[in-house]
Homo-oligomer: A and B are copies of this chain.
Amino acid sequence: MAFSGVNGKGPIMRIIEKAGEMQQQADSWRREGKRIVFVPTMGYLHAGHLALMEAAHRHGNLVVISIFVNPTQFGPGEDYQSYPRDLERDLKMAEGVGVDAAFLPSVEEMYPAGFQTFVEATEVTRTLCGRSRPGHFRGVTTVVMMLLQIVKPHTMILGEKDFQQLITVRRMVQDLHVDVAVIGHPIIREADGLAMSSRNMYLDDGQRQGALRLNQSLKLAQAMVDSGERRAESIVEKVSGHIGGAPETQIDYVQVCHLETLRDVTTIDEPALLAMAVQVGRARLLDNCVLQPPT
């Protein structure tokens, strides 16, 4: 099936719903010597996703995206059912940035009858979001492994907003020798500094003001490090105070971690990750930055 933009003027983007068809297409492109770049998404695309797709063109000849809201990475009581979806809008946006193919499987296509196999990274998933969302990263690594087997990309691009997801997928790819380069793309922000997320739509005006404190607190933290602060504890305290000072914010975690192992860091002697998850109204928001100690 082919799809062509709002006025039928865009380049033609191929729509693929079956894993077998996607694999055949990937094999055919690979035999032609083409390089496939893959951007997996859960849809409800925003400028952050589009930036990844635009960047993808710089890494190969063919850009493939997937849109799949993966049930196994949502816990009970999380927003799987209500996760925002707007496929038609997504396809127009993807075609607008020159995506060559969109893989849109059904849940039944991805999870065959009798499904029972999981992929799990056991250490980097113990902290941060992995602690608050048991099973989440097992769902992520499982579905990403499936998608890599189906799309067969040379390169995959993931956003750095979900930094732990990026680290976890990288670890899986390295450990299982998956032959794909995993590239992280810097966080894209709204004009007011809020990290782009499909879940930002859940915020009302007042909550949005609270949500802005996440990005503000990252800047406060870097300023402290620039002024000579090395103690992770002091930074976490300052950041937590700033975020917690807004109404309707509920901190899940604020942590300073090693950039690869994600183990807690007590003294910032080398670049370290400052990561946070904060519930603001219905939206669970993530943000992070790499704290750079002056050299």
Contact residues of A with B, CB < 8 Å?
19, 23, 27, 30-31, 33, 110-112, 114-124, 141-142, 145-146, 149-150, 152, 171-172, 174-179, 260-261
Contact = CB atoms under 8 A, between A and B. Distances in A.
Given A30-B31, A117-B120, A119-B119, A112 B176 contact: no
A44 B237 CA distance: 60
B116 A117 contact: no
Contacts of A152: 179
B118 A120 contact: yes
B112 A122 contact: no
B146 A116 contact: no
Given A31-B33, A145-B176, A118 B119 contact: yes
A242 B209 CA distance: 78
A179 B115 CA distance: 16
30 contacts: A19-B177, A27-B30, A27-B179, A30-B31, A31-B33, A110-B177, A111-B175, A112-B175, A114-B171, A114-B261, A116-B121, A116-B122, A116-B123, A116-B124, A116-B171, A117-B122, A117-B171, A117-B172, A117-B175, A118-B119, A118-B120, A119-B145, A119-B176, A120-B120, A142-B176, A146-B176, A149-B176, A149-B177, A149-B179, A150-B177
